[in-house]
Structure 1
Amino acid sequence: MDSIPFRYDPTRCALVVIDMQNDFCSPQGSLAQRGFDVGAAVAMAPRLERLIGLARAADVRVVFVRTLHDATTDTPQWLGRIGDEPDAVRTGITCRTGTPGADFYGIEVDDDDVVITKNRFSGFVGTNLDLTLRSLGVDSLLFTGVATEVCVESTLRHALFHEYWVTLVEDCAATYSRAAHEASVSVVAQNFGTVITAEKLESFWSALSST
């Protein structure tokens, strides 16, 4: 493994896939129906699917983090988080438990993959993500998915605070505004971790099969 930087060493890293779900990514999902531009997520999905396949071939652990919301997790503070009054509760619209909108979009989960369910932006809040990663011997996380500046960046920041090495795979993450995506990439690179492309990871992991 000497030729592979330690952050991307399959013996210590995991590929983390955040919120690749219909409501966030599909043109038929709830966000698209409310006017969000999901074009970047749609275009990114095949690239991410390929990277997931490469990760599995290189024995990199793949961890899917999905969002679910229902009456057991919908607090007034959560639903009213962008309101001006404490009772300005809005109806949850994304990834409702048991609905097609919560299903995965553009990717397939294998039996050997890990699936973590979260109810907030960060995958570490109220979940066993940290325990799972520690148990697997993982200390470096490669982040992908949607939305770059919301759930991806929130989980990435939280991972650093839990003492993981963190990396953003910039062309396997997407959001609804190019400016927001680029700002998040810049913030990560300046303050939290490294930024890499899927092509660069492929060059590292593909070399394993030829050694």
Structure 2
Amino acid sequence: MLTVKAAADMTGLTVKGIRFYEKIGLLKPAARSPAGYRLYSEEDIARLHKIHFYREQRFSLEDIAVLLNDPDVDLRSYLKRQLFDIESQIQELEHIRITLNKALEENDCGEVLEEENRSSLERSRVAIVGTDLQNDFLDGGALPCRRIYNVIKPLEAFFARAREMKIPIIYVCDSHHRNDPELEIWEDHAIEGTWGVQVIQELRPDPRDFVLKKNYFNAFIGTKLQNTLKKLGADTIILVGWRTHVCVAQTAIEAFHRGYRVLIAEDCVDSTTQVEHEFGLNLLRVNYGIEVLPGNDILEYMAEMSGETQPG
């Protein structure tokens, strides 16, 4: 049995931290010596090592409690969610790094930061969300369909102009492990670490774009999409991507219920058949009043609106 000081030295934690974990129930109450000192067993030390490890991986205390106490916990699901969170944080830091480097490269770094701030405010009301623009839907992929080629060139032009207008682009990409529930319905696809999960070369993200991962049809579920849109200040979403009647539609409906104005760039979405594509568009038009317009018309409208709101 070890004293709290010895337990701290062995685990790399502080005495205060160990007592805190005991207080909130992550660690069982310590045994006591005849003199009243806390004493910790080998089992306690092993548990403290696990707590320390999970904290280093940036898991919340609530998640750690589940991971340690629930024998039936789906560990892979927790690890995947945490990985998504960490990758989102890395991406946010990359955006900050780009901004700071850009400022430092100029003589008047303060003016550059002011310009970046103004640009952010000007673009903040609208964001583009693209779903499943990935290799596995191309020839040679796990779920190939020639119709996806219909959207590649229109999206190339759409994304290029949107970046010129400083409209943020958020890619939300399918991402799976072998035992994901969706793979019981569809063949294995968008498996982490494969060519198929990567974004189509012609549509590859710019460093300033956002790339999120999802493992459900709805791009809001289990992702950082809501947080990203909130940080951007967006109240309008332009949806583009693959499978109009599935991932695009479910994401659009969710966005509608969350209070966003939603537009569909009709030449930048498609599905596995024309019937499915038209079904998806009609579902969104009729039931939710979602605007469906050519991508260029949407950007023209956004440019006019931006011009009207700029002074002078």
TM range (shorter): 0.7 to 0.9
Map of 1:4 onto structure 2: none
Map of 1:29 onto structure 2: 141
SS in 2 for 1:150: helix
Map of 1:179 onto structure 2: 275
Asked if 2 retains the 8 angstrom alpha-carbon contact of 1:58 and 1:205, the reply is: no
Map of 2:133 onto structure 1: 20
Of 194, 197, 216, which residue of structure 2 is paired with 1:99? 194
Asked if 1 retains the 8 angstrom alpha-carbon contact of 2:124 and 2:232, the reply is: no
- For 1:114 and 1:196, how far apart are their aligned partners in 2? 24
Map of 2:225 onto structure 1: 129
Map of 2:167 onto structure 1: 60
| Identity within the alignment, % | 28
Asked if 2 retains the 8 angstrom alpha-carbon contact of 1:20 and 1:104, the reply is: yes
Asked if 2 retains the 8 angstrom alpha-carbon contact of 1:64 and 1:114, the reply is: yes
Task: Note the residue ranges of structure 2 that are not aligned, 5 or more in a row.
Answer: 1-121
Deviations 1:12-64 (A, max 9, x none): 1111111000112x1111112xxxxx222112111011101111111111111
- For 2:300 and 2:256, how far apart are their aligned partners in 1? 25
Asked if 1 retains the 8 angstrom alpha-carbon contact of 2:183 and 2:189, the reply is: no
Asked if 2 retains the 8 angstrom alpha-carbon contact of 1:54 and 1:205, the reply is: no
Q: Does 1:112 align with 2:218?
A: no
Q: Does 1:194 align with 2:194?
A: no
Q: Tell me how far 1:159 sits from its aligned partner.
A: 1.1
Deviations 1:79-120 (A, max 9, x none): 445xxxxxxxx7x41100000011111302111111111011
User: Which has the higher Rg, Structure 1 or Structure 2?
Assistant: 2
Equivalences, count: 184
Asked if 2 retains the 8 angstrom alpha-carbon contact of 1:168 and 1:188, the reply is: no
- Matching residue's letter, 1:69: H
Compare the two structures and name the one with the higher helix fraction.
Answer: 2
Larger RCO (CA within 8 A; separation ≥ 6): 1
TM-score, normalised relative to structure 2: 0.55
Q: Tell me how far 1:204 sits from its aligned partner.
A: 2.9
What is the RMSD of the two structures over their aligned residues, measured on CA atoms?
Answer: 2.0
- For 2:280 and 2:239, how far apart are their aligned partners in 1? 12
- For 2:302 and 2:256, how far apart are their aligned partners in 1? 24
SS in 1 for 2:203: coil
Map of 2:180 onto structure 1: 74
- Matching residue's letter, 1:68: S
